[in-house]
Structure 1
Amino acid sequence: MAIFVSILYLTLTRISIKKLLSIVFIAFLVFACKDSESSKAVTENNSKSVSTVYYNGDIITMSGETAEYVQALVVTDGKISFVGNSDEAMKIAGSGHIMIDLKGKTLLPGFIDPHSHFINALSMSNQANCSPSPAGNANDVAGIVEALKNIQTEKSIPEGELIMGYGYDDTVMPEGKLLNRDDLDAAFPNNPVLVMHVSLHGAVINSKAMEKFGVSDKTETPPGGIIVRKPGTNEPYGLIMETAFLPIFERLPQPSEAELAQQIKDGQMIYAEAGVTTAQEGLSHVSDVIILKKAAENNALFIDVVSYPFITELDSVISTYGVEAFGNYNNKFKLGGIKITIDGSPQGRTALFTTPYLTGGPSGETDWLGESTFSQDEVNIMLKKVYDNGLQSTFHANGDGAIDMCIKAHEFASNGNPTKERRTTIIHSQFVRADQLDKYVEYKMIPSLYTEHTFFFADAHIKNRGLEQASFISPMKTAISKGLKPTNHTDFNVVPINQLFVIWSAVNRVSRNGEVIGADERISPFQALQAITSNAAYQYFEEDRKGMLKTGLLADLVILDKNPLKISPMEIKDISVIETIKEGTTIYKKE
């Protein structure tokens, strides 16, 4: 399953080297012209720095273990030059400074994304949002069709061209009425249509798409694959999943040079609109690294992007760029470390546990524990290679069985020094046990948790694992009480980049049905903010650059219309991002 996801990410962005070189050349010309036109202005600005003073709002520094408010913040040359009282701020700002009246709004450090898949954002602007509420408005078949029709009109997609959507969640469709081929045929008789499942592991396609991708009643279901057939026939009818979907995905059309350039901009804006100033590309292949490095070299990035190449790409990345390329930004792009995937997803019943699923395996297996992507010996060798090269590792591990494998690999690979400060991060850590959290503390590991599952997938977890175990998913409070610095992520685009919803889910832990899932693991709004600011900066070894409002740190800022620390916890998700500022420059401002 995890290998499938890796191939999926690779295929999403796969383009030829020749095409990449063309993109780079075109982008170089565009930015060269832009730089030439603006060079005079830049020189003039550099010769006389103008400070900006933010005041008259709730300015929260995030620099301690409790909320600290200051009267004013001064930004000079893209960095914070002062944090404190208003009178001193005016003196520090000097003559000719700019005053920004917050008018009671809230100023915070820019949000830091601890884990998502930035590359996936590049194609989303050309696809229909077929997600149910609150991620979208496609709450039934009619809503999905409407979303697809809207994108067809908006993008002027002609007859015969592929129409794509994302976010279809079959687990919440009303009265069990699932999307099928006939629904899509009736609405789009002349266009191939593909609607991605929310898991990114499959899709529903119509008849025209089946013709395009060579799928028919003669197509056999491969091992590890799923093809839903029309009742009483052998005709593919609904979801095509896992290994059965790979041949389709590998044949999806790739963007043109112009489209890719626009997608890089559009993808960043998805993050900027959510107040995010640092994003993660959480499982990169060489093709992804090439795209991002060239975008950086051509000054096309306006937020920071941290890339974690997949373990199978380690040799290629090191041979191309060298170990020294890791850990340092180049025009807002950084290779952060290496990603190792251990298991699949708990809702898909492919996460690895030490006790059986209550519902069996995805193909009816009994006493099903899930499965690992690699053997323990393979993971041991992989991680040792990462550590021997002095690199940070992030693991994908959901089930407690997978987390056991991470801990054992760490002990094997650490050369007799498992307590060294490596900040190895266990992405998801959803079903982590309390004793495993103790190992995280001992080994200075970081849990990057995923509290939005308490909303989006709680029912599936309760069904598969039982209420007691499901109530301990993403145990933020326990992790904090043990002295850990947990972060909290979206895994975008599995769920949207919405940092206020991330905070809301950690504070409330309320499911779609309005039930509290694990009341004992609810945390304060301030602790939830730490998980996407100061703690997230620590995860990236960047606590000396961002995540707090302190003198000398980057002026990465976000302005909210309300203070999440001062309103009802249930209202936090309704807070709006008013403005996002990267190194002193506004990159998003709400109309």
Structure 2
Amino acid sequence: MRKTRFILPFALAAFFFLVAGCRQENTPTDKDKAPTTVYFGGDILTMEGDSPQYVEAVVVRDGNIEFAGASSEAMEVAGPGHKMMNLEGKTMLPGFLDAHSHYISSLSVANQLNLYPPPSGPGKDVPSILEALKRFKSENSIPDGVLIQAYGYDDTVMPGGRLLNRDDLDEALPDNPVLVGHVSMHGAVLNSKAMEHWNIGADTETPPGGIIVRKPGTREPWGLIMETAFLPIFGSLPQPTSDQEVAWTTAAHRMYAENGITTAHEGATHIQDLLLMDRATKAGANLIDVVAYPFITDLDTILKRFPVEQWGMYRDHFKIGGVKITIDGSPQGRTAAFTTPYLTGGPGGEQDWKGELTFPQELINTFVKQVYDLGVPLNLHANGDAAVDAFLEAHEAAAAGNPSKDRNVTLIHAQFTRKDHLPKYAQYKITPSFYTLHTYYFSDAHIANRGREQAEYLSPMRDAIDLGIKPTNHTDFVVAPLDQPFMLWSAVNRVSRSGEVIGADQRVSPYEGLQAMTINVAHQYQEEDLKGSIAAGKLADLVILDKNPLKVDPDAIKDIQVVETIKEGETVFIKK
């Protein structure tokens, strides 16, 4: 634990010194009570209520918050034998709750090459990507024939529209299969050896809802494979060995904890992923909570191994939370489904291209009804406005007679929500989990692909809140980096890479932005009684920041640092 330094005003410091001095000579008289920790000396923002509320001190005992309030009363509650932790002017909040990411990918990205474009990585253009790949192989002494994986390739920022293709990868790394993950996580660019490994060639038919970009004038795949065409590849990517599972899991948990996250989200769980997480859980590898959402196509198989009666309950920091359905692609990959055509055509040069639903409407209806009949929460991915329409149609069909019942439905991304969609979200008790990071990372692409009017209304958090909806916000990691202060900054400022404000009327206050990553996410998870705010009886899941997001200049929010992350009273990350 870190050393305590007292920097309180004199009177309060003297009071704490007196009590702390007494505790060193006393031992607990109540043997049934575990020792307590008292946090004090900084801004403690509880996230209770619709306006900022602060307390002077928090008492933590046995992994739970026993008291939050006045310092004098905190000392009485803490009793003898307590530890005192001075925040030294820093800010304490409830731990950040991850509304949506792809946790399972975090187990492997530590062993992959980061190709995000600047400022998050080196992938500014094709030559930079190729040079980084060659250096990665050399520095890591990767033998010929071994698969090389990278993530974060963003084709929307490639200068002059010069995109990465299989010929580039063949020239740079002719002796290794190479898979460069698209930033959307909905596809990848493969070289020839990777194509051979996954049996993809000129005779491979493009499946419904899939994309296989062909070399101009031929049927030869040219590298980029997306959506349903990519699913078999994604599902067969290498998994950690039994000896690696615990180490990779713990490393993944540390990655989330470094960003102040005390509950992580696994957003599209296949059977092999779920079995891996189950093994790692039984081995005691988990540091924070993880909630998994089995993918609809694996649901029947998963139910045979993990009956629905076992869902919704944590076991050693892991639970199955519900089901995930994906019904369209990504707007930056031009595979999201819209009611009007893309201004730039399709990813394979298609004309009058509106994108496509991942599944036919009838099958979407069937999937949604299957989940509703199970009585478990539903996370449904929909980006384009046509996908949102498709889900609402499926909801109304599956929920016939009672569409306004709270079925714990979260609409993941909901980026191109139209204004007429929002009243239905409110009526049907659907929680939109928005993705305001796109205003920075991809808004320039959205303006080019969809036009300014649609891009300006991206993730309309302001209008949703004004209708009484409690939206959440997410990173969709590894599509965007895990960086919770930057995510908050994006919701408050809505500034693009080029410095342009995107949808100023959809900005939210810093407090509203924090609600979308704490208490609102607790509601999304049906865990309001345990998480999301600092209150007596809740878990001691806490994060300490070097500055208060409510008290710095809005543009400085992105520079705030996570100092410490506490899970059930135990420090799981501390900044050195």
Specify if TM > 0.5.
yes
Q: Distance in 2 between the 1:280 and 1:84 partners?
A: 31
Q: Secondary structure at the match of 1:53?
A: strand
- Superposed CA offset, 1:476-503 (max 9, x none): 0000000000000111111111111110
Shift of 1:349: 2.5
> Please, what TM-score do these two structures have when normalized by structure 1?
0.85
Residue in 2 aligned with 1:525? 510
Report what 1:36 is aligned to. none
Aligned length, in residue pairs = 545
Deviations 1:419-474 (A, max 9, x none): 22222111111111222110111111111111111111112211222111111110
Deviation at 1:194, TM superposition (A): 3.1
Contact 1:228 1:240 in 2 (8 A): no
What is the deviation of 1:72?
1.0
From the superposition, tell whether residues 155 and 138 of structure 1 become closer, same or farther in structure 2 (CA, over 3 Å): same
| 3-state SS, counterpart of residue 381 of structure 1 | helix
Structure 2 SS opposite 1:264: helix
Give 1:295 deviation, angstroms. Answer: 2.2
| Mapping of residues 171-186 of structure 1, within 5 Å | 171-180=156-165, 184=169
Tell me by how many angstroms 1:122 deviates: 1.0
- For the pair 1:313 / 2:298, whether they are aligned, the reply is yes
Deviation at 1:406, TM superposition (A): 1.7
Q: Does the CA-based 8 Å contact 1:181-1:205 persist in structure 2?
A: yes
**Aligned match of 2:98:** 113
Alignment partner, residue 353 of structure 2: 368
| 1:132-281 alignment runs, 5 A limit | 132-141=117-126, 143-145=128-130, 147-148=132-133, 151-152=136-137, 155-180=140-165, 184=169, 188=173, 190-206=175-191, 209=194, 222=206, 224-227=210-213, 229=215, 239-241=224-226, 252-281=237-266
Q: Which residue of 2 aligns with 1:461?
A: 446
> Secondary structure of the equivalent of 1:355?
coil
2:399 equivalent to 1:414: yes
Aligned AA (2:70): N
Q: Are 1:542 and 2:542 matched, yes or no?
A: no
Check the 8 A contact 1:126/1:151 in 2, yes or no. Answer: no
Offset, 1:415: 4.6
Q: Note if contact 1:577-1:590 (Cα within 8 Å) is conserved in structure 2.
A: yes
Partner of 2:487, secondary structure, is: helix
Secondary structure of the residue aligned to 2:372 is: helix
Asked if the contact 1:383/1:413 (under 8 Å) is kept, the reply is yes
Helix, strand or coil: the match of 1:167? strand
Shift of 1:138: 3.2
Letter in 2 for 1:358: L
Query: Match for residue 268 of structure 2?
Result: 283
Partner of 2:45: 60
Task: Give the C-alpha shift of residue 314 in structure 1.
Answer: 2.8
TM-score (norm 2): 0.88
Name the residue aligned to 2:389.
404
2:12 alignment counterpart: none
How far 1:587 moved relative to its partner?
A: 0.8
Please, which of 551, 554, 558 is the counterpart of residue 573 of structure 1? 558
Report if aligned partners of 2:522, 2:532 keep a CA contact under 8 Å in 1.
Answer: yes
Distance 1:239 1:352, change over 3 A: closer
In 1, the alpha carbon distance for the partners of 2:367 and 2:237 equals 31
Q: Deviations over 1:556-581 (max 9, x none)?
A: 01111111111111111111111111
Question: Aligned-residue CA RMSD in angstroms?
Answer: 2.6
Aligned to 1:440: 425
Q: Is 2:85 aligned against 1:100? A: yes
1:405 Cα deviation from its structure 2 partner: 2.0
Q: CA deviation digits over 1:520-561, x for unaligned, max 9?
A: 000011100000000000011000000000001000011111
Shift in Å, 1:232? 9.1
Q: Deviations over 1:254-293 (max 9, x none)?
A: 4321222221111112211111111111111222222222
CA distance in 1, matches of 2:368, 2:230: 30
3-state SS, counterpart of residue 195 of structure 1: strand
Unaligned 5+ segments in structure 1 are 1-44
1:288-312 Cα shifts (integer Å, max 9, x gaps): 2222223223322111111111222
Query: Cα–Cα, structure 1 residues 290 and 515, in superposed 2: closer, same or farther, change >3 Å?
Result: same
Equivalent AA in structure 2 for residue 91 of structure 1: E
Deviates more, 1:301-310 or 1:341-350: 341-350
- The within-5 A match list for 1:319-358 is 319-358=304-343
Q: Which amino acid aligns with 1:169?
A: D
- Structure 1's 394 and 565: CA in aligned 2 closer, same or farther, altered over 3 A? same
Per the alignment, do residues 459 and 281 of structure 1 end up closer, same or farther by CA in structure 2, a change over 3 Å counting? same
Contact 1:130/1:143 (8 A) holds in 2: no
User: Sequence identity of aligned pairs in percent?
Assistant: 59
Unaligned runs of 5+ in 2: 1-29
CA distance in 2 between partners of 1:340 and 1:245 (Å): 16
User: Retained in 1: the 8 A contact 2:287–2:572?
Assistant: yes
Return the alpha-carbon distance in structure 2 between the equivalents of residues 248 and 386 of structure 1.
26
Q: 1:355 to 1:188 in 2, by over 3 A?
A: closer
1:330 maps to a residue whose letter is R
Range moving further from structure 2, 232-241 or 413-422? 232-241
Amino acid at match of 1:226: I
Query: Is this contact kept in 2: 1:202–1:245, CA < 8 A?
Result: yes
Is the CA contact (8 Å cut-off) linking 1:506 and 1:528 kept in structure 2? yes
Check conservation: 2:213, 2:348, Cα contact below 8 A: no
- Structure 1: how far apart are the matches of 2:62 and 2:449? 53
